[in-house]
Chain A
Amino acid sequence: MTPALASTGVQAPPARGGAAAGARVGDSPIRPDGTPKVQGRFAFASDLEADSMLWGRTLRSPHPYARVRSVDVGPALAIAGVSCVLSADDVPGASTYGLMALDQPVFARGVVRYTGEPIAALAADHPDTARRALAAIVVDYEPLEPLVDPARSAETPPIHPDGNVFRHIRIEHGDPAATGEVVVEGVYEVGMQDQAFLGPESGLAVPDGEGGVDLWVATQWLHEDRDQVAACLGLPHEQVRLHLGGVGGAFGGREDLSMQVHACLLALHTGRPVKMSYLRDESFVGHVHRHPARMRYRHHATAAGDLVKIEAEVLLDGGAYASSSSAVVSNAARFACGPYRVPNAVVDATVVRTNNPPCGAMRGFGAVQVCFGHESQMDKLAARLAMDPVELRLRNALATGDVLPTGQRVTGAAPVAECIRAAVAHPLPTTSNDGWLDHPGGAGRTAEPPRVRRGVGVAAGLKNVMYSEGFEDDSEARVRLSGGVASVTCAVAEVGQGFVTIASQIARTVLGCDAVVEPAGTVGIDSAGSSSASRQTWMSGGAVLQAARQVAGQVRSALAERLGVVPESLTLTDDGWIVGAADGGAVGALNMTVAEAAGDRVFESTAVHRHRRTYPLGEGGQGDADVSFVFAAHRAVVDVDTDLGLVRVVQVTTGQDVGRMLHPTQVIGQIEGGIAQGVGLAVMEEIVVEDGLVRNPSFTDYLIPTVADTPEVLATCIEEPEPEAPFGAKGAGEPPTISSTAAVAAAIRSATGVDVTRVPVRPWDLI
């Protein structure tokens, strides 16, 4: 059964691509789901409902570390309207799950390791009843002393059987004993940022009456969720079918399971649909956060400003469970030196377990943290050398052909210098006096213009595009051409980034007709991989491209057969046409779209896109671990009230290495949105954790930028095609978050003279 979108009883119709010209690759057509979204008809996972639906809620630990002596669900079951209360004994399959290590319990048994860890879940006939019933469950906790300092994790007795160290990586590049004439050192910290997507964790599980279940859920990777859920339910894959419920943003926060297993268990136990939708306070403890980081750096350079060696020690706090920590720390290690030629490097990066909130994927994935470190160092080095910070970066900028500290040679596009030059080429903003919102302090009217100082800072960063270290990634897509319309089936989780738009553009471009993107799910199509790591355009865009081309090839063959010619005498153009061979002949006058050439026949093809092989990091952290790299630079201008430490970010400019823009407006959207998140990390966003407790699990006190806080953004997109990428396009989602924070921090230093060593920067750090 299909769950209803509450208003009309019908699921939002399949997304349909633009019919008019201007909907091809390289154009900026309206997104296919745009109309229902502006009308409020688009079915987000939190909007779904079903007949006889129950509401599910999760009981979570109030303690960061405690033994659980007993769980008494009897009082909750006794409440009228409560159908079912489940805990650890009720998990039929695997009792733990995880993205990389299966170390996270579906329900805690015997011990809880973070504040917010699920202990039980229940289903009731009204969300209010569910909440009251939660409070009736009696749990006997024995609080334990929590491990909250990551620096002590390694020497503290394990708080989990798998130990307290998730992963340690050491990279040694060149000569570890090399030194430079000039040495600068620093210690830097990045606080815990949250993805703060607006759509709360939500899903609707519907039992099929035959022991299986359908789950509509907001997630980033349908098939991975399906696999984990099926394992925990003890069911074969065919009995666990996931469908994408509309996703209200993700940014890495939906890569781990949240309510999926809980809702399915409740649905299977009660025999009724169960909806779970977190309130915002639960959301803040219901997903992983960005790893807080402590970094120590030492940069060695010649007196002329050539980098000689970088030493870095990085410690990431992974919180209670593994999530994707081992991949995050690898990223942090591989990119700790920045987008520069570094002949010698020693990087020691560790991610540890604590009783703090679990951390995992967030846009930028380890590269954000080290970028703050290496860019702070580059500015320190520039100051020591009395050199312009831009010049220092340009002098050392990575380029195609250079070797990274992992020993991997950059073979693709690497326009680092171009990015930096482009970022600083934009005109600086004028000082404006239009109104209070133009000044630090905003409508609070605190600013005194003579006490406001303007500062400018630049930063550059890099990251991998796609998965690394030998992970075998792929994506499957099917294209079906029928009745003049191409329908694309692909399990990509559309989370707002606009994959549905480019998928329809790609199909339209290859086949020359309208395109429809079918709803995403696990049935009838294999995995498209995660909507993360800036990989979907390449991997799933590539799969759609492949499948569409295969269809075009089939159409050409069929047409050739009809015309009695060899297929090679017909040419498929780049924009969806079949034309006759150049020498004319029997087919010289042919000029029709692929779709037209298909006529009444139905053509369908499935493709799996893979990338070239990558390798694990071996001895000394050496190995060709990545497929491709992406680069960006930012320049930030800030005004600071020097007496109050209040900051207004006036302008952020960027030069970003995009390969090719498949949809220019959507690329700009990723840039502006990513910069806003980078600004947030720089000046206002932090999950405050004290003794393992989250102090600010609400939008009242976890502050994300409003429209009154965001700067003017000017962007230059540098299109140097990436040789191995479909269309030459690189993912655009992460680069905007990586060096924007560092640029804002640098601008604040420039404005105040304060040696900012931690982000987010607080007013009291600046006075």
Chain B
Amino acid sequence: MTVLAPTRLDDAVAALAADPSLTVLAGGTDLMVAVNYGQYRPAGVLSLRRVRELHDWHVEGEGSAAQVVLGAATSYTTVLDPALATLLPALAQASRTVGSPQIRNTGTVGGNLGTASPAGDTLPVLVALDATVELTSASGSRNMPVSEFVTGPKQTALAQDELVTAVRVPIARGPQEFLKIGVRNAMVIAVANCALVLDLGGRHLACALGSVGPVPMRDRDAERWAEARLDWDARPPLDHALVDDFGRRMAAASRPIDDHRATAAYRRHAVEVLARRALARAWAAT
């Protein structure tokens, strides 16, 4: 088994084009568990550790079009850095809940996307923000919304010869919230999570739920319903009935299952509470 460790992105892309069976290794926090337990034996590994571009981020565009271009190998710890956290508050809140400091130092946003677990903590945030993922192969790059990229539980639209190279995330245009439920205070896989973002200028609200369906889910009807009723100009304290109703709508849209971590009934109830609290909190911050 070969371990390739290119330093340049185009070398990485070329290596993958030459051998699409290579296993791409960024943080390794999912891959290495499977390797350690003998469940997965890669024939070859393409390590992205040294590809500088994938670890960097920068801001692109201006005003309401401004977005952060996160290299796919951006670690959760990097997202927690104040410089990024102020631009992407919900993503930082989500990153803070992932695993442990060791995991956050190593795990990457690109990896969270590539694994596409229904419980992935960055995914609801990216879906709520209409983030796009950049996929690169030897034939070039393409971008697609994260909501289209994640196609099912642990399934993505990634072609075998493609690398996730970046995620483009719109910069916060208003308050954002990310809430996550686990049975323990730290190092838990989400029983349910919720991202809610407000675009004050655009008068938009987006709310995505995780762990209550095969992929992170939004309900555009519920969002439009709320948008129409929020007083975006005066921004008075929220009406309880509105908040409660919003929570119920989000819960009704969810498709949770029973598993060894939680019951479907609890998950449905939980996302109602999370959506309610996320909306109330985000609005109170306006």
Contact = CB atoms under 8 A, between A and B. Distances in A.
Given A701-B260, A701-B261, A646 B37 contact: no
A704 to B, nearest CB: 8
A180 to B, nearest CB: 39
A706 B180 CA distance: 17
B273 A705 contact: no
A440 to B, nearest CB: 8
B188 A703 contact: yes
A695 interface: yes
Interface stretch (B68-76, B199-207, B225-233, B263-271): B263-271
A contact face: mostly helix, strand, loop, or mixed:
loop
A144 interface: no
Contact of A441 (B96, B178, B181, B189): B181
Nearest to A703: B184
A448 B191 CA distance: 18
Nearest to B177: A445
B264 to A, nearest CB: 10
Which interface residue of B179, B183, B262, B266 has the most chain A CB atoms within 10 A? Answer: B183
Contact of B181 (A444, A696, A703, A708): A444
Contact of A443 (B96, B177, B189, B266): B96
B260 A442 contact: no
Interface string B115-132: 000000000000000000
B175 interface: no
B207 to A, nearest CB: 15
Nearest to B265: A764
Contacts of B96: 443
B212 to A, nearest CB: 14
B97 to A, nearest CB: 5
A442 B186 contact: yes
B126 to A, nearest CB: 18
A366 B59 CA distance: 61
Contacts of A281: 37
B187 interface: yes
A445 to B, nearest CB: 5
A79 interface: no
B182 interface: yes
Which interface residue of B93, B97, B277 has the most chain A CB atoms within 10 A? Answer: B277
A445 B179 contact: yes
A128 B182 CA distance: 34
A646 B182 CA distance: 8
B185 interface: yes
B262 A764 contact: yes
B61 interface: no
A279 interface: yes
A58 to B, nearest CB: 14
B189 A700 contact: yes
B171 interface: no
B185 A648 contact: yes
B180 A708 contact: no
A764 B187 contact: no
A342 to B, nearest CB: 36
B270 A695 contact: no
A525 interface: no
A706 B179 contact: no
A330 B179 CA distance: 47
The 7 A-B pairs at the shortest CB distance, nearest first, are namely A442-B185, A764-B266, A444-B180, A708-B185, A708-B186, A695-B260, A131-B38
11 contacts: A281-B37, A441-B179, A442-B182, A443-B97, A644-B181, A688-B260, A701-B260, A701-B261, A709-B185, A762-B183, A764-B262
